[in-house]
Amino acid sequence: MTPLSRRLLAEFLGTALLVTVVVGSGIMAQTLSPGDVGLQLLQNSTATVFGLAVLILALGPVSGAHFNPVVSLADWWQGRQSGVGLTLGEVGAYAVSQILGGIGGAILANAMFGKAPLAWSTTERAAPHLWLGEVVATAGLLLVIFCLVRTGRTAVAPAAVAAYIGAAYWFTSSTSFANPAVTIGRAFSDTFAGIAPASVPGFVLAQLVGGVIGLLLVGGLYARPGADEPEPVTGDSLIGDSAAGR
């Protein structure tokens, strides 16, 4: 197991760069395609797909490339009985690193494009249909991740997870935040990808509900693995297994 300090650095860096990709590509999209929201979303989602896939490949062997408190919490929940995966204390440390990374990524993106480094978003995203979109997006994300782990197909995780998020940009009403750390980070940028601070709690709650639903669906599809099976997505179990097979 990689030392916790290195894993936390990987989670901080990965989440920071992910939010930088999301916010930065949103700012660039607004600049290149003013007035065309559909094209802006296409540019933003395309950059996110490629950026997320690369980050999972690069940092997965260190920390499991969660970049998401819901994924880290699910990792603990799935592994708590078999004694593998994150401890509850590590989940808290992961979440803090991810949230700080998300905020740092938004500040970095703002600064790169000449925006005020700290600017609260004014984009309201508070409505039942948007919360439903977040439930669907997060449940689907957990379903993709843990179904890949359960079936031993972690080699395709970078492409599969990135592809799902890219698709969910378009088929969910909320444009698939699906991540509390990213949601909090995006509140610090008053740009295309931003979310007003008042809208953050509703999104985070919906994401937690989606995480529970995702785990229930995985449990309904697959039996609980034995103690010797690499169920959680921490450390080497998500990316490391596939790397070892090359």
Regarding pTM above 0.75, the answer is yes
Q: Residue 236: pLDDT band by 50, 70, 90 thresholds?
A: very low
Token pair 């309904």 is at which residue? Answer: 220
Q: What are the domain boundaries of the chain?
A: 4-244
245, two tokens: 């097979």
Let me know if domain 4-244 sits in CATH 3.40.50.10490: no
Each residue's pLDDT tens digit, 166-223 = 999 999 999 999 999 999 999 999 999 999 999 999 999 999 999 999 999 999 998 7
224, two tokens: 């609980």
Each residue's pLDDT tens digit, 36-90 = 999 999 999 999 999 999 999 999 999 999 999 999 999 999 888 667 789 999 9
End-to-end CA distance of the chain: 20
Residue 234 has pLDDT above 70, yes or no: no
Residue 1 has pLDDT above 70, yes or no: yes
DSSP secondary structure, 92-103, as one string: HHHHHHHHHHHH
Each residue's pLDDT tens digit, 105-125 = 999 999 999 999 999 999 999
Report pLDDT for 163: 98
